């Protein structure tokens, strides 16, 4: 297993940050950090998985189970290059 880091940008949510971050934690997203940047909600994951695809798939399922909607996924280009070099 390898460690992967990525961010989901989310659709606006009527709940406050504490409420939806708690909902995500309860849905299994205990390896995430929630926040707001320029008013946009996001979730940063640092997840151990066999592949980036699997890490993102499971994280997305947990985000949706918390009642949140993913707008896009962002993976840092330097991180991707480092993962590719280790493959």
Domain boundaries of the chain, sorted by first residue: 2-86
pLDDT of residue 61: 97
Summarize pLDDT for 12-59 with one digit per residue, the tens.
888 888 998 999 999 999 999 999 999 899 999 999 999 889 999 999
User: Quick one: CA dihedral 78, 82, 84, 85, positive or negative?
Assistant: positive
CATH of 2-86, one of 3.30.70.100, 2.40.50.140, 3.40.50.10320, 3.30.420.40: 3.30.70.100
| Torsion angle defined by CA atoms of residues 11, 12, 15 and 20, in that order, rounded to the nearest 10 degrees | 40
Q: How far is CA 37 from CA 7, 42, 87, in A?
A: 12, 7, 32
Global confidence as pTM: 0.86
Summarize pLDDT for 55-76 with one digit per residue, the tens.
999 999 999 999 999 999 999 7
């Amino acid at each position: 297993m390898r460690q992967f880091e990525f961010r989901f940008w989310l659709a606006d949510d009527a709940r406050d940050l504490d409420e939806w971050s708690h909902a995500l934690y309860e849905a299994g997203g205990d390896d995430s950090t929630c926040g707001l940047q320029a008013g946009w909600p996001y979730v940063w994951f640092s997840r151990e998985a066999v592949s980036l695809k699997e890490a993102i798939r499971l994280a997305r399922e947990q985000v949706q189970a918390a009642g949140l909607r993913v707008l896009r996924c962002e993976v840092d280009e330097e991180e991707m290059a480092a993962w590719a070099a280790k493959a």
